[in-house]
A and B are shown apart, each in its own frame.
Chain A
Amino acid sequence: MAIVAQHTKFSKVAWPVLAWAVGLLFFFPIFFMVMTSFKTDADAVKPEFLFRFTPTLENYTNMTNNYDYWRFATNSVITSVTATLFTLFVAVPCAYAMAFNPSRGTKDILMWMLSTKMLPAAAVLYPMIFMAKSLGIYDTKFLIVMVLSLINLPIAVWMLFTYFKDIPKDIIEAGQMDGLNTWGEVREILIPLAWGGIASTALLVFIFCWNEAYWTVRLTTIDAATLSKLIEGNRAPEGLFFGRLSAVSTAAVGPIVVLGWFCQKQLVQGLTFGAVK
Chain B
Amino acid sequence: MGRIVLQKVSKKFGEIEIIPPLDLTIEDGEFAVFVGPSGCGKSTLLRLIAGLEDNTSGDIIIDGNTVTQVPPSKRGLAMVFQSYALYPHMTVRKNIGFPLRMEKMDQAEIDVKVNTAATSLNLTDYLDRKPGQLSGGQRQRVAIGRAIVREPLAFLFDEPLSNLDAALRVGMRMEILELHNKLKTTMIYVTHDQVEAMTMADKIVVLQAGVIEQVGSPLELYRAPRNLFVAGFIGSPKMNLITGPLAAKHGATTIGIRPEHIDVVASGGTWEGTVSVSEHLGSDTFLHVKVAGFEQVLTVRSIGDIAVKHGDKVSLSPRLGELHKFGADGLRIG
Contact = CB atoms under 8 A, between A and B. Distances in A.
Given A170-B85, A276-B88, A277-B83, A176 B52 contact: yes
B87 A189 contact: yes
Contacts of A174: 79, 81, 85-87, 146
B103 A171 contact: no
A5 interface: no
Contacts of A179: 73, 99, 102-103
Interface string A161-204: 00000001011011111111000100011001100000000000
A191 to B, nearest CB: 10
A180 B89 contact: no
Contact of A177 (B77, B83, B88): B77
A173 B87 contact: no
A212 B99 CA distance: 46
Given A179-B103, A193-B89, A277-B88, A173 B52 contact: yes
B110 to A, nearest CB: 13
Q: Secondary structure at chain A's binding surface: helix, strand, loop or mixed?
A: helix
Contact of A178 (B52, B82, B88, B146): B146
Given A173-B52, A174-B79, A180 B73 contact: yes
Contacts of B88: 171, 193, 276-277
Interface in B82-105: 82-89, 98-99, 102-103
B102 A168 contact: no
B231 interface: no
B200 interface: no
Given A168-B83, A173-B81, A179-B99, A192 B73 contact: no
Contacts of A188: 87
A168 B88 CA distance: 11
Interface in B142-165: 146, 150
Nearest to B147: A177
B237 interface: no
Interface in A136-182: 168, 170-171, 173-180
- Most chain B CB inside 10 Å of its own CB: which residue of A170, A184, A193, A276: A170
A180 B52 CA distance: 13
B71 interface: yes
A184 B102 contact: yes
Nearest to A193: B89
A268 B157 CA distance: 38
A178 B81 contact: no
Interface in A103-125: none
Contacts of B103: 179
- Most chain B CB inside 10 Å of its own CB: which residue of A173, A180, A189: A173
A189 B94 CA distance: 13
A192 B85 contact: no
Given A176-B72, A178-B73, A179-B73, A171 B87 contact: yes
Given A192-B89, A277-B88, A178 B83 contact: no
Contacts of B72: 173, 176-177
19 contacts: A168-B85, A170-B81, A171-B86, A173-B79, A173-B81, A176-B51, A176-B52, A176-B73, A177-B72, A177-B73, A177-B78, A178-B150, A179-B99, A179-B102, A179-B103, A188-B87, A192-B89, A193-B89, A276-B88
Interface of B: 50-52, 71-73, 77-79, 81-89, 98-99, 102-103, 146, 150
Given A177-B79, A178-B150, A179-B102, 14 more contacts: A168-B85, A170-B81, A170-B85, A171-B85, A173-B85, A174-B81, A174-B146, A177-B78, A178-B146, A179-B73, A180-B73, A193-B88, A277-B83, A277-B88
